[in-house]
Homo-oligomer: A and B are copies of this chain.
């Protein structure tokens, strides 16, 4: 699967959330903080099309864009890459890391335990 840059990912998020959308609609939904012009958003859309992670269909003289890949798939691929690179592919090493850094609230812990328990049945 083609890699998606960080800025491009912002655009994908918009479309994963709601699709299909026109370029203008996407621009309107991109988080304020990015402060992007419509032109910038259009560049992103072209590049994402070129990467094959978006498709577009014509709607009069504009396009409606929609994701060509599923968010879960991409997220899974990216998480996998990180776990491989930084934790030797060992998920428990990641969890240990988070624990050591106090990134786990008691609620998180409980939730994860429930989740794991369900897996074993």
Closest to A91 in B: B108
Interface size on A, residues (CB 8 A): 36
A80 CB to closest chain B CB (Å) equals 7
Contact call A99/B119, Cβ cutoff below 8 A: yes
Chain B positions within 8 Å of A82 at CB level: 78-79, 82
Question: Which secondary structure dominates chain A's binding surface?
Answer: helix
Q: Mark A20-36, 1 if CB is under 8 A from B, else 0.
A: 00000000000000000
Contact call B80/A103, Cβ cutoff below 8 A: yes
| A to B CB contacts below 8 Å, 6 in the list | A75-B97, A82-B82, A83-B103, A99-B116, A104-B116, A109-B119
